[in-house]
Amino acid sequence: MRVDRQTLHYLIAKKLHKAGLTSEHADIAADALAFADARGIHSHGAVRVEYYAERIAKGGMTHNPNITYQETGPASGILDFDNGCGLVAAKMGMDKAIAMAKKNGIAVVGIRRMSHSGSLCYFTEMAAEQNLIAISMCQSDPMAVPYGGAEEFFGTNPIAFAAPTEDNRIVSFDMATTVQAWGKILYAKSKGVPIPPTWAVDKQGEPTTDPHQVNALLPIADAKGFGLMMMVDILSGILLGVPFGKNVSSMYADLSKGRDLGHLHIVINPDYFIGLETFKKNMSAMLDQLKQVKPAKGITEVFFPGERGKKREANYLKNGIEIVDEIYNYLISDAIHYNRYDHKNKFAE
């Protein structure tokens, strides 16, 4: 099923509002989710709507949160979102960070007590579109083993980065700190195919090629990825006074409770360093030079981070966004949710 972005946005917003979000918050969340699908990040798009709707309907996402914001210094602030919609919380936090960085050169804004915040590049690109550099990170529930460990401790704990150029190309990446996301394991299970032994471990903490035996994911680059996922948890968890490590709430264990997650935005104004125009000029020069790099055997072109996502978006805007029929049928149905997620394990099983 292919739908245009405007229709997808409308259907998502309508469903989230019916579940209990205010119309304003439902609209913001729908924009972030439709963005993900338009970029081909389908794991964080419309596929998440039914889960969000079930959590909203069951009270685990505050419908009309009591939001407070405190500037703790000239370049820092904390937004408490009262366990409201994480997509809205992260956007509001980035709005605060953008304004602060424009005024004072740099901003570090933490968001505490929020729900799942989706695709982080949506927020970092907000800053890049306003000639700022952004780094964003958030914690997630435990499903990855630490380096040398045999049981899960940290989450996939993603990091995103975006920066502008002088010709409207945006360098943008959004990555989990595990080798692969759980969605790739699910795909292998559905197809009945093995996975590489570097992706995950079984209940004994041993590498497995059987997707049905996966109990936890592995960090990227062994100890390096472990260090990164720990850094994310420190900066978006301990620093903000929310649960950390194994104490981070499960996405599915009890949808009637708030998740108390943490998220951190760092925004830098290049005008306070080398100067905006020089920065953007050099960014464009870097990308031009990257595009001249000889491709490896079997590769036709070297892409800079974010380039392929923009190409997918252009294709989807022209031809419609591809949505799984089951998801589309749910979006146009009268149902809020089908009780599919509550009291499931960390892999929604």
pLDDT digits (tens, 9 = 90+) for 64-84: 999 999 999 999 999 999 999
- Span 267-306, pLDDT tens digits: 999 999 999 999 999 999 999 999 999 999 999 999 999 9
Segment 39-60 shows an average pLDDT of: 95
Res 182 pLDDT > 80: no
What's the pLDDT at 186? 76
Cβ(74)–Cβ(99) below 8 Å: no
Question: What's at 97, amino acid-wise?
Answer: A
What's the pLDDT at 272? 98
Question: What are phi and psi for residue 90, nearest 5 degrees?
Answer: -65, -35
Q: Tell me the C-alpha to C-alpha distance, in Å, between residue 136 and each of 41, 181, 212, 216, 301.
A: 17, 18, 32, 24, 28
Q: How does residue 8 score in pLDDT terms, banded at 50, 70 and 90?
A: very high
Res 309 pLDDT > 80: yes
- Helical H runs in the chain? 5-19, 23-38, 49-57, 86-104, 121-128, 182-191, 223-236, 276-291, 307-319, 325-332
What's the pLDDT at 167? 94
Res 187 pLDDT > 90: no
- DSSP string of 198-216, one letter each residue: TSEE-TTS-B-S-GGG--E
Q: How does residue 95 score in pLDDT terms, banded at 50, 70 and 90?
A: very high
- Span 113-125, pLDDT tens digits: 999 999 999 999 9
Closest C-alpha among 157, 165, 88 to residue 123:
88
- What is the token pair recorded at 118? 């989706």
User: What residues form DSSP beta bridges with 217?
Assistant: 144, 200
Question: What are phi and psi for residue 71, nearest 5 degrees?
Answer: -80, 115
Q: What percent of the chain has pLDDT over 70?
A: 100
- Span 238-268, pLDDT tens digits: 999 999 999 999 999 999 999 999 999 999 9
C-alpha of 111 from chain center = 14
Question: Angle at the Cα of 135 (from 132 to 136), degrees rounded to 5?
Answer: 125
Return mean pLDDT, the chain. 96
Which residue's structure tokens are 């799984």?
324
Q: How does residue 180 score in pLDDT terms, banded at 50, 70 and 90?
A: confident
Segment 166-189 shows an average pLDDT of: 89
Question: Angle at the Cα of 42 (from 342 to 203), degrees rounded to 5?
Answer: 50
Options 9, 17, 116, 263, the catalytic residue: 116
What's the pLDDT at 67? 98
Q: What is the dihedral of CA 243, 248, 252, 258, to 10 degrees?
A: 10
Cβ(255)–Cβ(342) below 8 Å: yes
- Span 224-243, pLDDT tens digits: 999 999 999 999 999 999 99
Active site residue 116: yes
CATH classification code of 2-178+219-274+318-332: 3.30.1370.60
SS3 327: helix
SS3 162: strand
Cβ(50)–Cβ(330) below 8 Å: yes
What's the pLDDT at 28? 98
Question: Angle at the Cα of 220 (from 146 to 163), degrees rounded to 5?
Answer: 125
